[in-house]
Structure 1
Amino acid sequence: MADEAAIEALAALVPATLRALHAIEFASRHLSPQTLPQIVETLAGRNDDLAPALAASRALDWPGRLAPVRDHLERAAAFAEETIQGLRAAPEAPQPIVAAYRSLRGYPRACEALYPLSPFLRPVGHFFLEQPARSDADLQARLAAADPTREGVGFMHIGGPSGTRGAFSLYVPEYYDPARSWPLVVALHGGSGNGGAFLWSWVREARTRGFIVLAPTASGSTWSLMEPEIDGPLIDRMASGVANDWNVDSSHQLLTGMSDGGTFTYVIGLDAACRFTHLAPVAASFHPMLMTAADPDRVRGLPVHIVHGTQDWMFPPEMAQGAERALRQAGADVTYREVADLSHTYPRDENARILDWFLPTPR
């Protein structure tokens, strides 16, 4: 009877949690000061099954052997519920958009709690894959054959707990094979963010396509934009350490980032000593003075993929347009994407395009 009750609890809580996480992704992608009221209206009533399912699970006497499953699932559900409630309450806060962004911090915490269940619960495993790959039999076979408990795979925090200043978070696909080289994506968070949270913007794609993600946390509250010698060498040491411990493809190393992270991608990515082969700044600020410090030989032929929102209220799209012109004139190989409905937020739906550009052939 206890097993049956636990199965019923799982059958209710898993889909409710995943629906909530998808709703949070939708809200995050479309969030802006102007759209917040519409987002709250869209969320109303759509995730009302999560709180009852969580309460029912907490009230249940689960079998002892399922305690780890219960712990991961209930923590993920609680973070998702907290995030949904925070978004709904944001319009009444003194600074609504700040409250909305703050509430989104629950999303990566929910993902981190939920991810260990991905090898065991098919809906969870599918959530952490790109949608077209969920029916890929070869990928499913690789994942099924992989040991998620072996050392050096999955997500990990190095140098301290998630979000520790000057430390980093890392994801290595569970089917990692040291016999071949693996592309590396280094993803820089925005101002006041941290690598432990921003990592989850890329795990789904990394698990699907087979590459390593390194997400550093700035040594200060944001990247040292005016003093690149602080965080620049830090990022390089992190990438070098990963390349020492895992087989990294030196010809496919992408530096990308959101907002201040995108700006810092320009700052260190245009330097002659930069190790990264591709740059993909997103929603970034750009000043023409950056080009005066850039190395001409480094910029010439450098693959750069710029993504910016037409509706960006923090860094107007004219900044990105200026970056495109300046880089093209300097000889860079520029791909420019201006997204009509995008504000100043991270567009996870652009990851696939960035990766198709960065990794043009299947891995």
Structure 2
Amino acid sequence: MTEKKRFRGRAVKAVGIAFGCVLVLGGAGAGWVYWHLDHNIRSVDINSALGDDRPARADRAAASPSPSASASASAAQEAVRKGVLNILVLGSDSRSGKENEKLGGGDSGGARSDTAMVVHLNADRSRATVVSIPRDTLVERPSCPTQDGGVTAPAYNAMFNSAYAVGGPVCAVKTVEQLTGVRMDHYLEIDFAGFAKLVDALGGVDVTTDQDIDDDLSHLHLDAGDHHLDGEQALAFARTRHGVGDGSDLGRIELQQQLVKSLLDEAAGSGLLTDPTRLYQVADAATGSLTADTGLDSLSELSGLARSLGGLSADDVKTVTMPVVRAPSDANRVVADEPEASELWESLR
């Protein structure tokens, strides 16, 4: 194994250890820290909302305990450690709260899913595939249940990210499952302000761009080359699209995929495990920005999943984008490129 491969493996493992180490920070303080971090995580019950009218699970061993099960914490951790898992990860363009508004979320009460990735983990956690779905993809948006007991209207040729806007996480999951035919075993969401705080807690992140970026909308102005970004700049880097590639969401996705790997590098090389204060700051920022489904909405479940990924290196993680072509009805939108898109999703079942 090369030194680069070992380093990348430690990067992923550090994420899991960061959650687990809060249990040993000492005495009553550790109890309060665990309680605080555990209660940071917001929860959404995807399974109850969607019921059984969903694609089959890729691997029954990956199923999380049902809400009525009296499983122990250790059993809950075991459920997310084993078996094939598909996790929908969204970055939400939240428009509520002063912090999100300052970071570009706007001044209205809605939200959009600006970033969408399906993370596929194989059964023994030796490989992972991260598939990005362009937000500009035109899809058939299904009717979705709402919190007040109603349903949203179905829509045709709707932008993919509109599902979150009209029906929140539940509709986002249902739309992804209809688009892909793949069951989403879990759901994770991170918001604008939380992402910026996480990057700042890690001490910033290193990125490289091969062209100048001059985007007034995302407030990002970078010369081509290497840069160390703080949280606000990293968020702009993840959001920028104008002046990158052809100005579409595809160029932005490439930047987002680079940012994910750079964050793992930063977590490994920042000395977190020898600095309890910074370790807590990172864990607080990470959990404080998360919304998770009921199978991943506790610190024990998240740490169990993260530790199961400790053997992965960057060479084991494949990042791809769902194959798309320009939409015949709108040159500014895309549609799934068939049969390539279906073949990709079939490989994740």
Instruction: Specify the TM-score bucket, using the shorter chain as the normaliser.
Output: under 0.3
Q: Which has the higher helix share?
A: 1
Higher RCO structure (Cα 8 Å, ≥6 apart): 2
Larger radius of gyration: 1
TM-score by length of 2: 0.27
TM-score by length of 1: 0.26
Q: Which has the higher strand share?
A: 2
